[in-house]
Amino acid sequence: MAVNFSESKTKENLMRAFAGESQARNRYTIAADKAREMKMYTIADIFLYTADQERAHAERYYELLKDLSGETIFIDGGYPVDQQTTLAELLRAAEHNEKEEYEDVYQEFGDVAKEEGFLEAASAFYQIAEIEHIHQVRFGEIAGMLETNQYFACENESKWICTNCGYIHEGKQAPAVCPVCRHAQGYFLPYAYAAYKGEGR
């Protein structure tokens, strides 16, 4: 069913998604500040890494609204207020919000866009939903490690990487201080979450 874009639900859903992604970016930036205050620098980096991806999602949704440049789009929407006090709680809230985007919001928006004949928008909604699922899983896993005191320690031999200098430590817990650059434990990241491992070279 072909629908005029200016009269479509897709137009409103794109603006809702733009608003939601923009707010998620800011929530994660604020959460990163809180993590830094707690000297959990790698968790701050994970929040900022995700915030930058949310910015990219917002930009994509905004690009899809270019035909309505100069207009004002009015929307109704509900957006979360996440001001939890612990990092684990902030991560769990982020996990919950990402899950909603993945399972409900963007699937529905994609279906509406497809039904209205806006296949590029539908594709963006579906593809970004998959990315939000990755965010959900990552936030959940890290929250779980914090809740069980396994972010810097574990029962079996494991690896951690100092995000300041690149030193890789093997053992049952991350060092209190990096032996190379002398940065605090908060700069260590479980190696599984290192973006650039250089393996296979």
Report yes or no on 199 lying in a domain. Answer: no
pTM here is 0.90
Which amino acid, residue 188?
Answer: F
For the stretch 8-42, pLDDT in tens is 999 999 999 999 999 999 999 999 999 999 999 99
Report yes or no on 80 lying in a domain. Answer: yes
Alpha-carbon Rg for the chain, nearest whole angstrom, is: 20
Q: How far is CA 178 from the centre of its chain?
A: 28
Secondary structure E strands in 50-167: 153-162
The domain spanning residue 159 has which CATH number? Answer: 2.20.28.10
111 and 185 fall within a common domain: no
Number of domains in the chain: 2
132 and 51 fall within a common domain: yes
Residues 6+ positions from 195 with CB-CB distance below 8 Å: 49
Residue 171 main-chain phi, psi, to 5 deg: 165, -165
Q: Residue 177: which domain range?
A: 153-193
Question: In sequence order, what DSSP letters do the residues of 118-140 get, joined into one string?
Answer: -HHHHHHHHHHHHHHHHHHHHHH
Helix H or strand E segment including 103: none
Q: What 3-state DSSP class applies to 187? A: helix
The token duo for 125 is 């909604």
- 194: DSSP letter: -
For the stretch 122-176, pLDDT in tens is 999 999 999 999 999 999 999 999 999 999 999 999 999 999 999 999 999 999 9
Secondary structure E strands in 27-97: none
